[in-house]
């Protein structure tokens, strides 16, 4: 038997509220399946299971606020004998039509008619409640849950832009997120001895290559400079392994995989940094699509637990507008973060002459317990070298 527990979804998370089950006892699950939705200070996160097997028991009930590590469910591994059935959790999102099943002939009739739900529409309790709150008709939604059932994320995606939450609720939510960010960053600065290295990179070759590569692409398929920066960073991390991994009770553990956290500003305020898994192995086109997808889902509240917990190194950029440089704070348990100022014309020296060229200033913040300024300098110059041959990225 495996105990499926409340995962840690970031250094700033202490507990999460279970708002939706997407499975029920008896369902078969496999590694990577989304089985529940948990609400945290940074929004609703889709929780994945990392064992193959059959759901034997749901331990946690909807609405419970549970600390990291608390049991959520029991997963029976293939070939294991099931325990005696117990009634420890209520039924979960139905896979059959959402109308309550007719009572058995010997059962007493209900004292009140069932809640009005359009006939033939399967929806989880959380989805029904949220749809009613937003005034969204269930028949207007397409379900992505088991058996085509409508789940909470389907309702959130359909939420009208013109129907925001009340100002006081939004303010409270942002205050909680800011509180979580403050706690994590205060811990980082208190416990991690940061050092900083800054380097300005000539983007002339990268800009010219991008212009040619995007010439025949529609706007929605164009590759942005951020994708080149992230790919160069991921490849450089293969060479300088001391910037990629986690620092825990036993010290630094380098990661063979390079999962780049991407800092994403949320609409209305707040910040999350979910991971693009195996960023070094993706083509530039695939990496750009992953960046777009991650940004869209982050702002829609549809991130997955693996994306929130598996980053090994983080990238944060100001985009096309802003100041020339910024310094970041490391996201524990990671040991480094690279921040990029806004790219633009800067005065550079080339062949002994001062010229105006497209450039970007990168700043590495790294953990002095793991590396030092010399290694940090090698890491940034490796990124620089890769950006001079963008066709090889």
Q: Are residues 141 and 79 in the same domain?
A: yes
Number of domains in the chain: 2
pLDDT 10s digits, 41-88: 777 899 999 889 999 999 999 998 999 999 999 999 887 765 554 444
Domain identity same for 285 and 326: yes
> Any idea what the CATH number is for the domain that residue 285 is in?
3.30.559.10
Mean of pLDDT values over 384-390: 98
Residues 144 and 226 in one domain: no
35 — pLDDT class (breaks 50, 70, 90): very high
Structure tokens at 340: 């990029």
Are 223 and 333 in a shared domain? yes
Same domain, 347 and 211: yes
3-state SS assignment for residue 31: coil
**Confidence band for 274, pLDDT divided at 50, 70 and 90:** very high
User: Judging by DSSP bridges, how do beta strands 313-317 and 336-340 pair with one another?
Assistant: parallel
Catalogue the long-range contacts made by 222-227 (C-beta closer than 8 Å, 24 or more residues apart).
Answer: 222/288, 223/284, 223/285, 223/288, 224/288, 224/291, 225/343, 225/360, 226/291, 226/317, 226/319, 226/340, 227/284, 227/287, 227/288, 227/291
Same domain, 137 and 251: no
- State whether 279 and 344 are in the same domain: yes
The answer, yes or no, to whether residue 369 has pLDDT greater than 50, is yes
Q: Please state the rounded mean pLDDT for residues 260-276.
A: 89
pLDDT band at 168 (very low <50, low <70, confident <90, very high): low
End-to-end CA distance of the chain: 44
Backbone angles phi and psi of 360, in degrees to 5: -140, 145
Q: Which residues contact 288 (CB under 8 A, 6 or more apart)?
A: 222, 223, 224, 227
In a domain, 167, yes or no: no
Tell whether the model's pLDDT for residue 319 goes beyond 90: no
- Burial (0-12, 13-18, 19+ Cβ within 10 Å), 50: middle
Tell whether 192 and 297 lie within a shared domain. yes
Question: Which CATH number goes with the domain that contains 130?
Answer: 2.40.50.100
The Cα–Cα gap between 279 and 262 comes to 11
Q: Is the pLDDT of residue 268 over 90?
A: no
Range of the domain at 6: 2-104+119-158
Distance CA 290, CA 288 (A): 5
> Which burial class, exposed, middle or buried, applies to 98 when counting CB atoms under 10 A from its CB (0-12, 13-18, 19+)?
buried
Residues 6+ apart with CB under 8 A from 109: 103
Q: How far from chain centre, in Å, is Cα 222?
A: 23
- Judged against a pLDDT cut of 80, whether residue 305 lies above it is answered with yes
**pLDDT for 97-108, tens place per residue?**
444 444 443 444
């Amino acid at each position: 038997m495996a105990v499926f527990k409340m995962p840690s979804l970031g250094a700033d998370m202490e507990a999460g509220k279970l708002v939706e089950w997407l499975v029920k006892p008896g369902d078969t699950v496999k590694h990577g399946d989304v089985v529940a939705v948990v609400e945290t200070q940074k929004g609703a996160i889709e929780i994945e299971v990392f064992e193959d097997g059959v759901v034997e028991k749901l331990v946690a009930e909807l609405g419970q606020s549970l600390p990291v590590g608390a049991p959520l469910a029991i997963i029976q591994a293939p070939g294991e004998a099931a325990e005696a059935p117990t009634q420890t959790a209520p039924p979960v999102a139905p896979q059959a039509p959402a109308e309550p099943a007719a009572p058995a002939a010997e059962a007493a009739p209900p004292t009140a008619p069932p809640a009005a739900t359009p006939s033939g529409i399967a929806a989880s309790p959380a989805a029904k409640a949220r749809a009613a709150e937003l005034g969204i008709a269930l028949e207007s939604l397409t379900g992505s849950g088991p058996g085509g059932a409508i789940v909470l994320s389907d309702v959130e995606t359909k939420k009208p832009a013109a129907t925001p939450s009340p100002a006081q609720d939004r303010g409270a939510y942002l205050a909680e997120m800011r509180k979580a960010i403050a706690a994590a960053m205060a811990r980082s600065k208190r416990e991690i001895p940061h050092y900083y290295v800054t380097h300005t990179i000539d983007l002339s070759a990268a800009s010219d290559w991008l212009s040619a590569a995007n010439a025949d692409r529609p706007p929605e398929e164009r590759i942005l400079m951020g994708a080149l920066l992230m790919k160069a960073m991921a490849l450089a991390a293969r060479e300088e392994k001391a910037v990629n991994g986690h620092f825990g009770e036993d010290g630094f553990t380098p990661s063979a995989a390079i999962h780049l956290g991407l800092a994403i500003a949320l609409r209305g305020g707040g910040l999350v940094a979910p991971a693009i898994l195996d960023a070094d192995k993706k083509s530039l086109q695939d990496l750009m699509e992953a960046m777009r997808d991650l940004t869209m889902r982050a702002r829609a509240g549809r991130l997955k637990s693996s994306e929130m917990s598996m980053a090994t190194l983080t990238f944060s950029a100001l985009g096309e507008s802003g100041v020339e440089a910024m310094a970041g704070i490391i996201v524990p348990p990671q040991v480094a973060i690279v921040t990029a100022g806004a790219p633009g014309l800067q005065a550079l020296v080339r062949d002994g002459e001062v010229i105006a060229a497209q450039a970007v200033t990168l700043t590495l913040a790294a953990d002095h317990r793991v590396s030092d300024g010399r290694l940090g300098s090698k890491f940034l110059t490796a990124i620089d070298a890769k950006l001079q041959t963008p066709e090889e990225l």
